[in-house]
Amino acid sequence: MYDFLQYLLDGLAIGSVYSLIAVGYSLVFGVLRMVNFAHGEFFMLGAYLFMFFFNLKIPLWISFVLSALFVGMLSVGMERFLYKPLRKSGRFAPLIMAVGLSLFLQNFVQIIFSPNPQSFTVSLPEGIIQWGEDILIRKKDIYIFAITLVLTFVFDAFIRFTSFGRAIRAVSMHPQAAMLVGIPFNRIISITFFLGAVMAVVGGVMQGMSTNQIWPFMGVHSGLKAFAAAVLGGTGELWGAVLGGFFIGISESLLVGYDLSMYKDGLAYLILVVFLLYRPQGILGKKLTVKV
Amino acid sequence: MSLLRLNNLCVHYGPIVGIKDISLEVHSGEIIALLGANGAGKTTTLQCISGLLKQKKGEIVFKGTPIQNLPTHTRVQMGLSQSPEGRMVFPHMTVKENLILGAFTQKSKYLSHDMEKVFHLFPRLEERIHHMASLLSGGEQQMLAIGRALMARSELLLLDEPSLGISPLLMASIFQKLKELNANDGLTLLIAEQNAHSILKMAHRGYVLENGEVIKTAPASDLLHDPVIKEAYLGGISH
Amino acid sequence: MMFLQDTYDYFSLPLMLLGIYSLMAMGLQLILGGAGLLSLGHAIFFCIGGYTSAIISSTYLPLITDSNLLQLILSALCAFLVSGFFAFFMIIPCLRLKENYFAMATLALGEVLSTVIKNLDFTGGIRGFKDIPSLDINPLIVGLIVLIVYLVLRRFYKSSMGYIIRSTRDDDIALQSLGISHFKSQIIAFTLGSAIAGMGGGFYAHTIQFMSPEEGSFNRSIEILLAVVIGGMNSLTGSLIGSLVIVAIPEILRFGPSEIAQNRNVFFASAVILLMLFRPKGLIKHGS
């Protein structure tokens, strides 16, 4: 019993990282009906850029802000110059472009830094808290989970209460109607990309601070699972993405705990397939009423 | 004074021609009827005016400014709004949220006043204020679409087939309200309709479209009594 | 004569790889450009075919016949059939998914199957399957098969089923209104295309004499996708050109400074990005 609880708690931290990445996938898919395959790379780039700035002796918080801004602007630029022209170019062009971009970014980083894992020298506070007799919780995990939750609440408030947030929801629901009420479609797309990328950057930095290791392919690896989380929770739904991330993190943790870790990687994909086939709107999603 | 002018507007859907060469004019304070059978090009024309469709050739001049290359949201800010074909309500938002979104381009100080006005016009919407838009009936969704378009405080309101799927009684009431808005607030209306009879009774002028072209334009009363129009669009039955 | 022999030996491996990639690319082209389905899990069929060949040639085929050539043919046939079998069962539930979702589903299924292969004993698990008999495989045989497949597909596109498959790419609705089942043609295209890739996998197993679960990975699928995209999604010949590019470039770059070899993926990725921007239909203008 306590083992189960232990694995559950471990899974929340892993899941948090997936959640942060999943938010971006989910929101972008919501507004553009497009899977930005390259989204996972924002996660990776965030970690690398943070390290880069930090190694230049730039203070922690400023390094973070700089990385977030840089990656955010990169995502906006990518959308504006590489995805937008393809909106009418047939069914697969955007997806193939995204695959190309993803490959490009991974290999670009590999060349500039190194294909080997780099060390991430900033850490979250160490230490373990004991809960009852049998359960150990790492302080790091608490930080990650807490930050994720706080960010999600803030984001949720943004979506619910600000006019931009309302505009994002409107565009997700019905792009043409959104245009007709005067919502600046392209600007909302850019904002959505930016916000999603920033969340991914937070995820990347936290991953680095937790495992103290980053490598060029961490984006693909975690990104696809995060996509599974987004579908599981319901694409376009903020809390869906977050809960989906936790779910996958916990499932993986349970597999590892019960000695089935060789199936760990396949699990997220299995979940993805099952949901795509039988419940594409995910757990929290609504049946799409607008023709996609 | 010309509020809206279309000059030789032409829209293609890939290889298919939607509208060939449409020129028309709407003056401030008018109610203009856009008539024609299914596929004649009414919706294409309206969607081109609001910017949902891009024209292949031609000009759209609104309040003296060419808008054919401006994005939709800018056109809305300039004072043009639309209640589109299919209503296009935000399905998973309430009536209230839909109306709030309709006022996206306006300052928040007008919000409650304008919503009051819409509810005064369409009391049924107030009854259903917190209901999901997707659960409303056809007629209620139409009222919501119009109400939402009104929240934009526009000068020109485009309506695309507002009577589709709505009982004649309800439609008569809606048309009456629209007529009042036109008379009292000076709201200019451009209404595309298959139901020619009702619309011609309240319009000032009309344009008749066929195969993507304007085949006739005349004052509404002339069109109403025109035997050719009667035959084609009024079903040949005298009302 | 010695010179010819040396040249032949030197080019033997790249030529066979070229042939194998060509098979996979033609298969994917049939699926993508032909039926209009984006399969991101294409490599898993290559992998399944490879393992099939590995397993039966190690154990069963020697029992049936002594001739290497016959064994090779049977091996390829089995790889073809088994991959096709898997493809058939995969495509049926997935067909109703829309493009984006379909692509992700194929990706996910590929990864799931890859994980399963990693965990099975008779496939050698994570460490892979070693010591696969080569059965005297050589570029001539592979080349011959490539040619045959090419001609068959060319012919197939001109047949009535071929026309149906190519038109579903553009207009499901029109076809449906004509009462033609586009599902059926998509199933055929997907199954056939994946089976061809499986056959390529079989040849690969005999060429490299080693099969690993990584062969079914997403990375491999992307490589083939690059080949098809670079050559032109709508062109069968294009997939051959694309394969040539994908296989030849690393070979050529081997003569350059070692840093450039690493850059090859960046090069390919840039090529795809530029192609999508300026020539989404690929390098070859295909008159359809």
* Predicted pLDDT at C252: 66
B32 membership: H or E segment, kind and range: strand B31-35
Buried b (16+ CB within 10 A) or exposed e, C110-127: bbbbbbebbeeeebbeee
Residue C263 has its nearest CB partner, among A91, A111, A272, at A111
* Predicted pLDDT at A125: 79
**What is the Cα–Cα distance from B172 to B160, expressed in whole angstroms?**
16
**What is the Cα–Cα distance from B52 to B44, expressed in whole angstroms?**
9
Q: What are phi and psi of A235, to 5 degrees?
A: -65, 140
For residue range A130-170, list pLDDT tens digits in order.
777 777 888 888 889 999 999 999 999 999 889 899 999 99
Taken in order C138, C143, C145, C146, the sign of the CA dihedral is positive
**C269:A104 CB<8 A:** yes
Average of per-residue pLDDT across A190-205? 95
**What is the Cα–Cα distance from C251 to B173, expressed in whole angstroms?**
77
The residue ranking higher by pLDDT, A279 or A19, is A19
* Predicted pLDDT at C177: 57
**C272:A86 CB<8 A:** no
B135 belongs to a structural domain:
no
Residue C52 has pLDDT above 70, yes or no: yes
Instruction: Please choose, from the candidates C115, C124, C142, C195, the residue with its C-alpha nearest in 3D space to the C-alpha of residue C17.
Output: C142
- What domains are there in chain A, each with its CATH number? 2-278 (1.10.3470)
B109 belongs to a structural domain:
no
**What is the Cα–Cα distance from C179 to C182, expressed in whole angstroms?**
9
Number of domains into which chain B is organized: 1
Give ipTM to 2 decimals. 0.91
**What is the Cα–Cα distance from C44 to C31, expressed in whole angstroms?**
14
To test the contact with chain C by mutation, choose from A32, A41, A91 the residue with the greatest count of C C-beta atoms within 10 A, namely A91
**What is the Cα–Cα distance from C73 to A166, expressed in whole angstroms?**
63
Which residues of chain C approach chain A closer than 8 Å at the C-beta? 32, 36, 38, 93-94, 97-101, 103-105, 107-109, 111-112, 114-116, 118-119, 126, 218, 222, 225-226, 229, 233, 259, 262-263, 265-266, 268-273, 276-277, 280
* Predicted pLDDT at A135: 78
For residue range A62-74, list pLDDT tens digits in order.
999 999 999 999 9
pTM exceeding 0.90? no
Residue B72 has its nearest CB partner, among A170, A179, A290, at A179
B198 belongs to a structural domain:
yes
**What is the Cα–Cα distance from A194 to A72, expressed in whole angstroms?**
5
Residues of A in contact with B50 (CB under 8 A): 180
* Predicted pLDDT at B134: 92
Closest-approach residue (CA) in chain C for A109: C266
The region of weakest confidence among A217-226, C239-248, C253-262 is C253-262
Closest-approach residue (CA) in chain A for B74: A182
For residue range A20-56, list pLDDT tens digits in order.
999 999 999 989 988 898 999 999 999 999 999 998 9
* Predicted pLDDT at B219: 92
**What is the Cα–Cα distance from B70 to A231, expressed in whole angstroms?**
35
Closest-approach residue (CA) in chain A for C262: A111
To test the contact with chain A by mutation, choose from B72, B83, B94, B160 the residue with the greatest count of A C-beta atoms within 10 A, namely B72
To test the contact with chain A by mutation, choose from B48, B83, B90, B114 the residue with the greatest count of A C-beta atoms within 10 A, namely B90
Average of per-residue pLDDT across B82-93? 93
Helices assigned H by DSSP within chain C? 2-29, 43-59, 61-64, 68-94, 99-118, 139-158, 160-168, 172-177, 182-208, 218-231, 236-253, 258-262, 264-278
For residue B59, the domain's CATH number is 3.40.50.300
B98 belongs to a structural domain:
no
pLDDT, mean over chain A: 88
* Predicted pLDDT at A49: 94
Average of per-residue pLDDT across C108-127? 85
* Contact call for residues B37 and B196 (beta carbons, < 8 A): no
Q: The domain containing residue B225 runs over which residues? A: 1-42+51-70+158-163+191-239
Largest Cα–Cα distance in chain C?
A: 64
To test the contact with chain C by mutation, choose from A80, A89, A107, A112 the residue with the greatest count of C C-beta atoms within 10 A, namely A107
**C273:A104 CB<8 A:** yes
Instruction: Please choose, from the candidates C277, C271, C230, the residue with its C-alpha nearest in 3D space to the C-alpha of residue C28.
Output: C230
* Contact call for residues B193 and B33 (beta carbons, < 8 A): yes
Instruction: Please choose, from the candidates A230, A224, A203, A220, the residue with its C-alpha nearest in 3D space to the C-alpha of residue A23.
Output: A230
Residue A292 has pLDDT above 50, yes or no: no
Strands of B16-27's sheet in order across: B65-66, B57-62, B2-13, B16-27, B213-219, B205-210, B31-35, B188-193, B156-160, B80-83
**What is the Cα–Cα distance from A159 to A26, expressed in whole angstroms?**
13
**What is the Cα–Cα distance from C200 to A69, expressed in whole angstroms?**
46
The region of weakest confidence among A160-174, B126-140, C124-138, C199-213 is C124-138
The region of weakest confidence among A177-181, A246-250, C108-112, C249-253 is C249-253
Average of per-residue pLDDT across B200-212? 91
3-class secondary-structure state, position B215: strand
Tokens describing residue B191: 């209404």
Tokens describing residue A15: 């899941």
Residues of A in contact with C263 (CB under 8 A): 107, 111
**A91:C280 CB<8 A:** no
Which residues of chain A approach chain B closer than 8 Å at the C-beta? 163, 166-167, 169-170, 173-174, 176-186, 286, 289-290
